[in-house]
Amino acid sequence: MKLTTILLITACLQVSAKGYAQKVTLNQNNITLQKVFEEIRKQTGYQFFYADDVLKQAKRVTVNFQKANVDDVLRFCFKEQPLTYTISENTIIVKRKNIDPDVITSPAIDIFATITGKITDDTGQPLPGASVVVKGTTNGTTTDSNGDFTIEAEPNSILVISYVGFEEKEVNIGNQSSVNIQLLPAVSIGEQIVVVGYGTQRKSLVTGAISSVRAKDLEKVPNGRIEQALQGRVSGVTILQNSGQPGSPSTIRVRGITTFGGGGNNPLWVVDGVIVDAGAIGYLNQSDIESIEVLKDATSAAIYGTRAATGVILVTTKKGKAGKINVSYNGFYGISQPAKVLDLLNATQYGALLNERSVGGGGDVMFPDLSVLGKGTDWQDHIFNNDARRFSHEISLSGGSERSTFYLSFGLQDQEGIVATDISNYTRHSIRLNSTHKISNIFTFGQTLGYSHQKSVGLGNTNSEYGGPLSSAINLDPITPLIVTDPVLANSAPYSVNPVIRDANGNPYGISSIVGQEMTNPMAYIQTRLGGYNWSDDLIGNAYLEAAITKDIKVRTSAGGKLAFWGNQNFTPVFFLSSTNTVLKNNYGKANNNTFNWNIENTITYSKKLGDHDFSVLLGQGAYVENNGGGSAVTLFNLPITSYEDASFNFDIPQADRTSGSYDFTEHKLSSLFGRVNYNYQGKYLFTGIVRRDGSTRFGLNNKYGYFPSFSLGWNVSNEDFWTFKDVINTFKLRGGYGVVGNDAIRDFGYLSTVAGGFNYTIGNSGVITTGYAPTSLDNPDLRWEETSQANVGFDATFLRNFNITMDFYKKVTTGILRPIRIPGYVGVSSAPVGNIADMENSGVELELGYNKIFGEVSFSANGNIAYLKNEVTYVDADADFIPGEAGFQSMGNVTRIQVGQPYNFFYGYKTAGIFQNMAEINNHKNSGGSMIQPNAVPGDFRWVDVNGDGSITEDDKTNLGSSIPKYTFGLTLNAALKGFDVMVFGQGAAGNQIFQGLRRLDIGNANYQTKALSRWTGDGTSNTYPRLSTSDANGNFGNMSDFYLEKGDYLRLKVVQLGYTFDNRLVSKIGASSIRIYVTAENLLTLTDYTGYDPEIGGSVFGIDKGVYPQARSILAGLQLNF
């Protein structure tokens, strides 16, 4: 906490008390000390720190001072009070008086014992100046600069420990002679400092919808990427993991789907003032993060203008603190395995169902003797790794002097995938240096710099029905063997005449004669991808120079940027996996890309307090340049090698077997002016106004500049004199606002007509073909900014000292969504022009609840959140009321649609009303004219719902089958600690959405089935949910998009369970450490869901489409945290 840092530095450095020169005028009768403190704060700027219970015994005072010194006023007011105070620069610390031991009366029989102990905060840092009192007596003391104390007390006495900004705690010492006590931060809105963009603000004065996550909330969750650590911790923010592939990013949506143009919905990430694209945020070390703020509404995000429509996430990394050098280490090692595997048919079951399917379609029995098939090959068992290794090491050094501080860290992370580990793993090396330097009393210089090298090996096809280890393991028949060991088979076709893949013993991997196309032996496929990897080097930093011109005026210039290099390398050997999946020439390729983005920002801030009026003004200017996509690629074919280990570009390869290319940067520029005004009166009435003007090179002269204003109001009702029940509802603040933000996320120069070469012409009647240029897209000079306006109202409150609550209601409207326009083919251009063609709304409710309490020696806290979201498209292209959806599945085509009055990308298809059990039901299923509604149906077929009531089943009967967007998201974190032990339980989930379960290939009739196919219809009354199996399907039971493929996506996941132990400080101090903690963590222990796929958490550009998503892992980790 900021408060802890201030007081710790004050105590350690023994700063002498000095009164400011401000004068105080105060003339009031019989007022509380709290009122005196408030008047002094208003008139002088002094800040008072004290625990609320400290003032309970304080007497009221009558004062009459005219332009008196602060110290004189305080001495008078504290006379005959059971309190004392200390002035440290502009901070006044109030605590209970220490009683002179000489005046304590000893009992007749001396049964007192000397008790020693140490007081620390919730992170293990000592608390100097904490009050320790024997309950029911005047016997008390305070802790020294190391948090240590000594006190005389009887056995079984109760010690009462209090410290400014922390919950008071009572501890029964029993017969102990030494105790170590940990205090938890007090719940107080007014003490939290929030990063708001280009500055900070006290939480009590914030008028926008901002959620904060602190370092202590993250440090116990050993995630690979920071997005995953945020999941379930911020209301209104949906975070879905795209894949269980190590290093894979997550999909983040702040208050729903904001747009469906080409720019995506990822929020804007700002790390120490530098804009970082969502895909690159994985460069961050989790232990380096000090705080994360999510700006959810337009009133708080408008300061970032054009890039803030989809929300803003501000990340502040750690800085050094004056004092001794601190060394910290956090590391863990663990094992991962699949949290779930699918129930697929074994060979005997599979043979029986394929026999039934063939005979049902008029064919022959495929497997006459099922008894010889046995269980067959369990492909999942071969591709999954139950002992995938995972470890992390993070170490940091920090410290400094009053004039210069530094923070230096190093990190290493390594993780093996649980699917096809040889081609699924991830490593990251990182280093960070942050520093601040007070050059003079006026100038301060600071910088942050982070570097990471990441290397990943991926499966290739993930969440795809077109092959790859996972899709093949699901669809390949269990009859085909993993390896062919029978020499007769191994020496016959196709093994004897093709370059098949073989194992280390020379045995060929099995090739299916039953299931073909992309579905190949997954273990053989893995051998064809060895040696390939992706890599990236990211250097991201920021430097600033700040000048305190006066005590009220600060000028700041900052320059930041990102330099990134990335690419991939791959080797493809000669192979034969199947008749449709073969390579006859090996190839070795490499691609290199680079990006350089930079920004310069200049701001001036004026802050002033005039009596009861407190205001600040920020004015700023920014220039931002993105240079994206420069690079080159080269591929060599027909190398004289057989293994990736021998691959090199040094071979003398003929030009005919070489391909290469290069591409230049595309440049995007923004020029911005922005300003903000914050005002409050007596800390009661609050106002924030923001305006930003952005100019973008992505728009023409007609609409090059966009203007994005916002305002918000707040009322700290609990600061009013009429608020008489502060003991129950301690703080209560109302707030609301409205703002507009923009989006220019389209291709560069999208407003211009473009031309390209490579087109063929014939000139005149000669018939000679000439290569030339032609238009490829049309211009749109009226292309304008996509805008998102948002209204938000909410409140923050604390009650009974231990509870806190935040609630928000919002409506977000996006207009002029930027998207390619549908044009007829005769126009003659290959690329559709971009236009403002759609509108969409999101509305919702967010609730965050917290509870902190100490019960004797047990500390407990609970923090939960839940959010509701409604999404609706309100306008699309003027020529139609829908746009084809953005998710397709094989021969079905689009399975989603974008339509006015419906959620974005809702599932679109036929509804089923059970299964026809016999011909009588089919014959009786007639329309009003007496005709059969489904004349082609046979028993065992779906009964389709005639949605439009016209008496026949046509395309017009397709309807909304549900949304892939969760209506509800929620999370809960529980923490408890007792005598060095601590436990944390974290769960999260989502509800109200549908998932398209497309794991099985439609066009491969012999693909394997899940065991739920055993409950198919086989006769009258056998099933009303799973249709008959047949090679003849005139009714389209499996070929039509219908609710048969949809399942509820509701889930509740026990995400993290952690048990830790912090060793006694007396023990760890013997090795020079300040704290040592060990812990064991279990991740993804349990998921409660009815979904039959691997995992109900399915992210990506389109939610809820499961074609074989890489499942998340269940992990067991053991870790160590050290501080010196």
Per-residue model confidence (pLDDT) at position 108 = 36
Residues 254-277 pLDDT 10s: 999 999 876 678 899 999 989 888
Per-residue model confidence (pLDDT) at position 5 = 39
Strands 1046-1048, 994-997: pairing is antiparallel
Neighbouring residues of 114: CB distance < 8 A, sequence distance ≥ 6: 150, 151, 152, 177
Residue 585: pLDDT over 50: yes
Per-residue model confidence (pLDDT) at position 187 = 44
Quick check: is 684 in a domain?
no
Q: At what angle do helices 33-44 and 70-78 cross, to 10 degrees?
A: 180
| Contact of 1072 with 1059, CB cutoff 8 Å | no
Q: What is the rounded average pLDDT of the residues 46-68?
A: 77
What are 646's two structure tokens?
Answer: 């021998």
Q: 310 and 213, same structural domain?
A: yes
What are 159's two structure tokens?
Answer: 């010690």
Picking from 66, 96, 126, the residue at the C-terminal end of a domain is 96
| Contact of 734 with 717, CB cutoff 8 Å | yes
- How far is Cα 523 from Cα 469, in angstroms, rounded to an integer? 7
Q: Identify the CATH number of the domain in which residue 56 sits.
A: 3.55.50.30
Quick check: is 233 in a domain?
yes
Picking from 160, 182, 204, the residue at the C-terminal end of a domain is 182
The angle formed by the CA atoms of residues 251, 289 and 990, to the nearest 5 degrees, is 30
- How far is Cα 92 from Cα 49, in angstroms, rounded to an integer? 6
Q: How many other CB atoms are found less than 10 A from the CB of residue 800? A: 12
| Contact of 996 with 1042, CB cutoff 8 Å | no
Q: Which of 50-64, 315-329, 350-364 comes out lowest in average pLDDT?
A: 50-64
Residue 15: pLDDT over 60: no
Residue 924 is inside which H or E element, if any?
A: helix 919-924
Q: 316 and 235, same structural domain?
A: yes
Strands 769-777, 158-162: pairing is unpaired
Q: What is the rounded average pLDDT of the residues 685-705?
A: 93
- C-alpha to C-alpha distances, 1031 to 357, 498, 892, 1003, nearest whole angstrom: 6, 31, 17, 11
Give how far the C-alpha of residue 399 lies from the chain's centroid of Cα atoms, to the nearest Å: 30
Residue 6: pLDDT over 60: no
Per-residue model confidence (pLDDT) at position 797 = 95
Residues 728-751 pLDDT 10s: 999 999 999 999 999 988 888 788
Q: 159 and 178, same structural domain?
A: yes
| Contact of 348 with 366, CB cutoff 8 Å | no
- How far is Cα 192 from Cα 716, in angstroms, rounded to an integer? 15
Q: 166 and 222, same structural domain?
A: no
Strands 113-120, 178-182: pairing is parallel
User: Which burial class, exposed, middle or buried, applies to 428 when counting CB atoms under 10 A from its CB (0-12, 13-18, 19+)?
Assistant: buried
Per-residue model confidence (pLDDT) at position 186 = 57
Quick check: is 1067 in a domain?
no
Q: 149 and 73, same structural domain?
A: no
Half-sphere exposure of 497 (CA within 13 A, CB side): 5
3-state SS, residue 629: strand
The angle formed by the CA atoms of residues 541, 546 and 552, to the nearest 5 degrees, is 140
Per-residue model confidence (pLDDT) at position 103 = 38
Nearest-CA neighbor of 338 among 400, 464, 245, 263?
Answer: 245
Give percent of the chain with pLDDT exceeding 90.
60
Residue 81 is inside which H or E element, if any?
A: none
| Contact of 649 with 636, CB cutoff 8 Å | yes
| Contact of 45 with 609, CB cutoff 8 Å | yes
Per-residue model confidence (pLDDT) at position 109 = 39
Q: 160 and 42, same structural domain?
A: no
Residue 471: pLDDT over 50: yes
Instruction: Give just the sign of the alpha carbon dihedral 822, 827, 830, 832.
Output: negative
Residue 149: pLDDT over 50: yes
Tell me how far apart the terminal alpha carbons of the chain are, to the nearest angstrom: 19
| Contact of 1001 with 475, CB cutoff 8 Å | yes
- C-alpha to C-alpha distances, 64 to 73, 77, 94, 288, 528, nearest whole angstrom: 9, 11, 22, 51, 88
Q: What is the rounded average pLDDT of the residues 93-119?
A: 63
Query: What mean pLDDT is reported for the chain?
Result: 88
Per-residue model confidence (pLDDT) at position 162 = 83
3-state SS, residue 359: helix
What are 286's two structure tokens?
Answer: 């989790």
Q: Identify the CATH number of the domain in which residue 153 sits.
A: 2.60.40.10
Residue 472 is inside which H or E element, if any?
A: helix 469-475
- How far is Cα 862 from Cα 972, in angstroms, rounded to an integer? 7
Per-residue model confidence (pLDDT) at position 22 = 65
**Residue 71's pLDDT band (cuts 50, 70, 90):** confident
Nearest-CA neighbor of 237 among 253, 225, 258, 217?
Answer: 253
Per DSSP (E only), the strands in 1013-1072 are 1046-1048, 1051-1062
What is the residue-wise DSSP string for 23-62? EEEEEEEEE-HHHHHHHHHHHH--EEE--GGGGGGPPPEE
Strands 769-777, 786-799: pairing is unpaired
**Residue 88's pLDDT band (cuts 50, 70, 90):** low
Q: Identify the CATH number of the domain in which residue 226 sits.
A: 2.170.130.10
> What DSSP state is assigned to residue 13?
H
Nearest-CA neighbor of 191 among 182, 199, 179, 200?
Answer: 200
Domain count, the chain: 4
Residues in the chain: 1124
Per-residue model confidence (pLDDT) at position 54 = 74
Q: 60 and 86, same structural domain?
A: yes
Residues 1082-1118 pLDDT 10s: 999 999 999 999 999 988 778 899 999 999 999 999 9
> What DSSP state is assigned to residue 349?
H
Quick check: is 148 in a domain?
yes
Quick check: is 713 in a domain?
no
Using left for φ > 0, alpha for ψ between -120 and 50, and beta otherwise, residue 62 falls in beta
Q: What is the rounded average pLDDT of the residues 607-627?
A: 94
| Contact of 408 with 396, CB cutoff 8 Å | yes
Residue 696 is inside which H or E element, if any?
A: strand 685-696
Q: 246 and 176, same structural domain?
A: no
Per-residue model confidence (pLDDT) at position 731 = 92
Quick check: is 520 in a domain?
no
- How far is Cα 304 from Cα 601, in angstroms, rounded to an integer? 12
Residues 161-182 pLDDT 10s: 987 667 778 888 888 888 989 8
Give percent of the chain with pLDDT exceeding 70.
95
Per-residue model confidence (pLDDT) at position 1092 = 96
- How far is Cα 887 from Cα 1102, in angstroms, rounded to an integer? 7
Per-residue model confidence (pLDDT) at position 9 = 35
Per-residue model confidence (pLDDT) at position 322 = 84
Range of the domain at 265: 189-321
| Contact of 310 with 375, CB cutoff 8 Å | no
- How far is Cα 620 from Cα 720, in angstroms, rounded to an integer? 35
Per-residue model confidence (pLDDT) at position 988 = 96
Quick check: is 10 in a domain?
yes
**Residue 499's pLDDT band (cuts 50, 70, 90):** very high
Picking from 72, 96, 120, the residue at the C-terminal end of a domain is 96
What are 819's two structure tokens?
Answer: 């998207």
Nearest-CA neighbor of 20 among 65, 96, 72, 75?
Answer: 72
- How far is Cα 944 from Cα 937, in angstroms, rounded to an integer? 10
Q: 307 and 256, same structural domain?
A: yes
Residue corresponding to tokens 């004056």: 322
Per-residue model confidence (pLDDT) at position 525 = 95
**Bridge partners (DSSP) listed for residue 301:** none
Quick check: is 61 in a domain?
yes
Give how far the C-alpha of residue 959 lies from the chain's centroid of Cα atoms, to the nearest Å: 33
Full-model pTM: 0.81
Per-residue model confidence (pLDDT) at position 1014 = 97
Residue 102: pLDDT over 50: no
Peptide bond into 368 cis (omega under 30): no
Which of the pair, 436 or 142, is modelled with greater confidence?
436
> What DSSP state is assigned to residue 1032?
-
Q: 314 and 243, same structural domain?
A: yes
Nearest-CA neighbor of 1105 among 896, 912, 955?
Answer: 896
**Residue 43's pLDDT band (cuts 50, 70, 90):** confident
- C-alpha to C-alpha distances, 882 to 701, 839, 895, 901, 960, nearest whole angstrom: 31, 12, 14, 10, 12
| Contact of 552 with 608, CB cutoff 8 Å | yes
Give how far the C-alpha of residue 420 lies from the chain's centroid of Cα atoms, to the nearest Å: 26
**Bridge partners (DSSP) listed for residue 926:** 932
- C-alpha to C-alpha distances, 869 to 113, 604, 968, 1099, nearest whole angstrom: 61, 38, 7, 17
- C-alpha to C-alpha distances, 212 to 166, 272, 806, 860, 1078, nearest whole angstrom: 19, 15, 12, 20, 27
- How far is Cα 382 from Cα 677, in angstroms, rounded to an integer? 62
Residue 1072: pLDDT over 90: no
Q: Which of 9-23, 631-645, 781-795 comes out lowest in average pLDDT?
A: 9-23
Residues 895-919 pLDDT 10s: 999 999 999 999 999 999 999 999 9
Q: 106 and 82, same structural domain?
A: no
Residue 754: pLDDT over 90: no
Residue 633 is inside which H or E element, if any?
A: strand 613-637
**Residue 624's pLDDT band (cuts 50, 70, 90):** very high
Q: 289 and 229, same structural domain?
A: yes
Per-residue model confidence (pLDDT) at position 270 = 93
Nearest-CA neighbor of 168 among 801, 981, 982, 803?
Answer: 801
| Contact of 699 with 784, CB cutoff 8 Å | yes
